[in-house]
Structure 1
């Protein structure tokens, strides 16, 4: 089990980013929320912590439910001063995120609807070669409007 007692290290080059691999299990969602909140605090973007934490929690939950892998990789990046991107990488390139109809009394199935409502943009990117991808990253972006 991964512990939060070891601080996540920032990427040494390029735009600010945090990345860490975790087991594909339900407790990872709470760890992911903390990682996102900690990264946003470092970047002085606390106003975006709640929506970003909720988004990453949904992304992690979807990965746990819909992928057969043993682990997932969490990514928190700041590609520019005006943008934060959170994502989850898994090893299930054929299981792509899709909106499914949800009845009013369904107890689950609203994660992507929630992400769509909270994020300024979301999507997925396949990982690996175009002909034989080994995985995918499902991501969501929040415009921070910092320095604009």
Structure 2
């Protein structure tokens, strides 16, 4: 497994990792979010970020094609974390109303609840589903 760190215009490195498209990758993605939030001193975003990345990875595992997904964590602003999952499916995620008896189907509703913003960016070979969390500015 390779973690890539790249410099961004904000001066804050981003974190990204290519993972197998399997449910176990959610745990690795959560660790990546925790590492990024700790490095950026945005610990207040860690738990929501971990829940969000779990849901985004879970969606990609269920609906994408190919054997890998990419998790990307960026810091577009001083107190903002953007969590993205890139996969090889061009089909955008559709939020569903889950019944009380449904095992799944609440993932995007949870993302919508926790994130300040979320969306999907189409890519030539797939898509990036992302969510942003905003914390407090640290002085």
> What SS is found at the alignment partner of 2:125?
strand
Q: How many residues align?
A: 137
Rounded to whole Å, the distance in 2 between the matches of 1:12 and 1:116 is 28
Which sections of structure 2, spanning at least 5 residues, go unmatched? none
Q: How does 1:101-140 map to 2 (within 5 A)?
A: 101-127=97-123, 133-140=124-131
- The 8 Å contact of residues 21 and 69 in structure 2, kept in 1 or not, is answered as yes
Residue 93 of structure 2 corresponds to residue 97 of structure 1: yes
The aligned residue for residue 28 of structure 2 is 31
TM-score norm. by structure 2 comes to 0.92
Rounded to whole Å, the distance in 2 between the matches of 1:147 and 1:27 is 34
Deviations along 1:108-145, whole A, 9 cap, x unmatched? 10000000000001000011xxxxx2110000000113
Q: How does 1:1-148 map to 2 (within 5 A)?
A: 2=1, 8-15=3-10, 16-93=13-90, 95-127=91-123, 133-147=124-138
> What SS is found at the alignment partner of 1:20?
strand
TM-score norm. by structure 1 comes to 0.87
Rounded to whole Å, the distance in 1 between the matches of 2:78 and 2:131 is 16
Which sections of structure 1, spanning at least 5 residues, go unmatched? 128-132
Higher Rg of the two aligned structures:
1
